[in-house]
Every structure is written in structure tokens, then in C-alpha cells.
């Protein structure tokens, strides 16, 4: 079995576990039996949320250990010591868990004070906070740091402990900036690095990032409203936990549907790069090198890709680059709504944001999921 396929099966198992567990807990009304249904503020709100988050971190941590340490070791993809990995993981998991507790307390009290309207307003504010604070959050959770590498004007270069960090775009539309991994700057010739940088600049200039962000926010907002209604509100801890479980089920539906527009956006971004004057051969070489730094699976069955992969296989992208004609539906193509939605789902307490094959056990890509 290849490394990529092993990671895929691990991600499927983790996502499946959370989805089935959410269905079970909701079906048997476990949150109402275990957690408080009092709408009066109490210190027990904090202790119960911390306890629930600890259980989540413990269950997710077992999968993270396999995704971040066992599989890379088994397939010769990493020589990192277990102690080093555990320190990185603990830092990321602790900060992610702390944010979930804080967001949960905020939503709990907003629901008590103003019902759905105030809870929705707070959810949107938390989502905006995640967008604005993506870079410092990535540094804290993923252990990233600013790198003293020459970057294009307005871009930010970050150093990551692993090569599968691909950067991305950070910030709201019109105030967003390109984020680049330091590893790209080690390209001896520079052509592949320049091709990837200009590709990011092109997708930003053509509005693909803005469309992807809006689609992700829209998807999560609908999911929050539905989860809030299904949970019967979030004015007590039991309701908040139910909201988290319903949000997890909504995120699972997103994992099935959002990869399709994401793949369209990837093809369009590749075409935008060519239209911006990027050399076709340099871009093709860059895509091949990127695949090697990720899971090294240049081709995959179409059925597997359709369901599980928001980034098309490298061979399909190379074939599209070689073809003539405009990118499909490039006038509306969104850039990575599937993976943006996973990160932004921190705001509605989804349990799937770090359960997928591309970021399971990789704290450095819990905020900026692989995107190129």
C-alpha cells in the first residue's frame, strides 16, 4: 500500500469515526443525559466544556499519532523523534482545544443573552476573527515562524517544520496577502518557486480566493443555523455539545460536496498562472515537485478523487496545462472552499477540522491546509 493510500484510509477512518459517533450520541440523546441543561451561568459550564474537549483531544490524538508519526516513519517520510513530534502535537492540540472551549463559552452565553440572532452574529464574528488572525494562529498552533527570505511585495514567507506546508492566502478579500513556505525558496533554479508565487498572485487577482472564502463562509453559516435549530438552541452545555455534533455531520456533507468546486478552482488557478505569463514547463515542474513533498500520488482512480480529493491528481493537472482553451467555468471558479470551510468550522465547533487525510497529525497544516 502506498503512503498516500495509507493516509487516505486513516483519514476515512477518522472522519468515519466522528461521523458515526456523532450520529450515535445524537440518536441516543447522550448530550442531554451527560451534560447540564441549565441555562443559568455556572462554573460547571467551563469544567464540562473542558472535559468534553479533553475527550475529543484524546480520541483525535490517537489518529494524529498515526498520521503525524507512525505512518511517516513506516514509509521513510520522516526521521523525527517521537518526543519532538509529541511536543509539536501537544502545542497545537492544546491551543486548538483552548480555542474550542473559548468559542464554546462565547456561543453559550450569546445564546443565553440573545438567542439565535446573537449566537449567529457571534458565529460570524468568530469566523471573521479566524480569517483576520489566520497567520498568527498558524504560528501559534503549527509552530510556524517568519523566515528571512526574500518575498514578493506584500507576501509573507513562513518557515514550517515539515515540507508539506504549502502556504496559502490569508486575510479578508481586498486585504488578503499571499503566504509562502520557506521551502519553496530553496529551489536551485528559482523557476519553480517563481511559478508557484505568480500562480498564487494570479488566483488572488482574479478573485478566486474571495469566491472560495465566501462559499466556505456561506456553507458554514447555513450549517450553523441548521445545527442550532436541530440542537434546540445552545443556551446550555448539552445544547452546545449537540450543536457541535450536528456541525460535525454538516462538515461531513461538506467533505462530500465541496471538493467538486475546489477541483474546478485548482484547474482555473493553474490556467490563471499561464495567462499571467508563467512558463508552462516551469509550472509543470513545480506541480510535480509539490506532489513529491505531499503524499507522492501523481495519479489516482477518478472515483477516489471525486469523493476524497479537492486537489486534482498531478497527472490530470499536467494534462490540463498541455491542453489549449480556457479553464472550465473560470469566471466563477472558487479557490479551495472545501479546505477553507474545514478551518473556519472551528467557529461552529466541528470535530472534523483536523481529521482529514491531508492534515491529520500535522499541526503545521491545521490552519493553512495544503492547497496547491
In whole angstroms, what separates CA 13 from the centre of its chain? Answer: 17
Residue 73, all three cell numbers: 516513519
- Name the residue among 360, 367, 344 with its Cα closest to residue 140: 367
Q: Is 146 helix (H, G, I), strand (E, B) or coil?
A: strand
Each residue's pLDDT, cut to its tens digit, for the chain (372 residues) gives 899 999 999 999 999 999 999 999 999 999 999 999 999 999 999 999 999 999 999 999 999 999 999 999 999 999 999 999 999 999 999 999 999 999 999 999 999 999 999 999 999 999 999 999 999 999 999 999 988 766 677 789 999 988 889 899 999 998 999 998 888 776 645 677 788 889 999 999 999 999 999 999 999 999 999 999 999 999 999 999 999 999 999 999 999 999 999 999 999 999 999 999 999 999 998 898 888 888 888 888 888 888 889 999 999 999 988 885 655 556 789 999 999 999 999 999 999 999 999 999 999 999 999 987
Task: Give the separation between CA 4 and CA 145, rounded to whole angstroms.
Answer: 27
Do 259 and 312 form a contact (C-beta atoms < 8 A)? no
Residues recorded for the chain: 372
Q: Is 214 helix (H, G, I), strand (E, B) or coil?
A: helix
Read out DSSP for 247-306? Answer: HHHHHHHHHHHTHHHHHHHHHHHHHHHHHTT--HHHHHHHHHHHHHHTT--S---HHHHH
Amino acid at each position: 500500500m502506498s503512503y498516500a493510500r495509507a493516509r487516505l484510509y486513516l483519514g476515512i477512518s477518522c472522519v468515519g469515526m466522528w461521523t458515526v459517533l456523532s450520529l450515535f450520541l445524537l440518536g441516543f440523546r447522550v448530550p442531554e443525559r451527560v451534560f447540564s441543561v441549565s441555562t443559568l451561568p455556572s462554573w460547571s459550564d467551563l469544567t464540562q466544556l473542558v472535559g468534553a474537549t479533553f475527550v475529543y483531544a484524546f480520541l483525535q490524538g490517537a489518529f494524529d499519532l498515526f498520521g503525524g508519526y507512525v505512518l511517516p516513519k513506516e514509509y521513510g517520510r520522516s526521521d523525527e523523534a517521537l518526543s519532538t513530534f509529541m511536543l509539536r502535537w501537544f502545542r497545537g492540540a492544546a491551543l486548538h482545544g483552548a480555542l474550542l472551549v473559548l468559542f464554546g463559552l462565547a456561543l453559550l452565553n450569546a445564546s443565553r443573552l440573545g438567542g439565535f440572532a446573537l449566537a449567529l452574529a457571534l458565529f460570524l464574528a468568530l469566523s471573521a476573527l479566524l480569517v483576520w488572525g489566520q497567520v498568527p494562529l498558524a504560528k501559534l498552533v503549527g509552530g510556524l515562524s517568519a523566515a528571512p527570505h526574500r518575498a514578493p511585495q506584500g507576501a509573507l514567507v513562513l518557515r514550517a517544520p515539515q515540507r508539506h506546508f504549502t502556504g496559502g492566502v490569508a486575510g479578508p478579500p481586498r486585504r488578503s496577502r499571499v503566504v509562502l513556505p520557506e521551502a519553496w525558496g530553496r529551489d536551485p533554479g528559482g523557476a519553480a518557486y517563481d511559478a508557484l508565487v505568480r500562480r498564487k498572485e494570479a488566483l488572488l487577482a482574479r478573485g478566486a480566493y474571495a469566491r472560495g472564502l465566501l462559499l466556505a463562509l456561506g456553507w458554514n453559516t447555513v450549517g450553523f443555523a441548521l445545527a442550532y435549530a436541530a440542537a434546540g438552541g445552545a443556551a446550555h452545555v448539552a445544547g452546545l455539545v449537540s450543536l457541535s455534533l450536528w456541525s460535525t455531520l454538516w462538515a461531513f456533507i461538506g467533505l462530500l460536496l465541496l471538493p467538486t468546486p475546489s477541483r474546478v478552482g485548482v484547474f482555473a488557478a493553474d490556467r490563471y498562472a499561464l495567462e499571467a505569463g508563467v512558463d508552462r514547463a516551469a509550472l509543470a515542474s513545480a506541480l510535480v515537485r509539490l506532489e513529491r513533498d505531499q503524499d507522492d500520488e501523481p495519479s489516482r482512480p477518478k472515483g477516489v478523487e471525486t469523493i476524497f480529493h479537492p486537489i486534482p491528481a498531478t497527472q490530470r493537472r499536467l494534462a490540463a496545462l498541455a491542453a489549449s482553451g480556457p479553464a472550465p467555468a473560470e469566471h466563477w471558479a472558487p479557490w479551495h472552499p472545501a479546505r477553507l470551510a474545514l478551518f473556519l468550522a472551528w467557529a461552529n465547533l466541528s470535530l472534523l477540522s483536523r481529521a482529514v487525510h491531508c492534515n491529520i497529525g500535522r499541526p503545521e497544516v491545521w490552519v493553512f491546509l495544503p492547497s496547491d
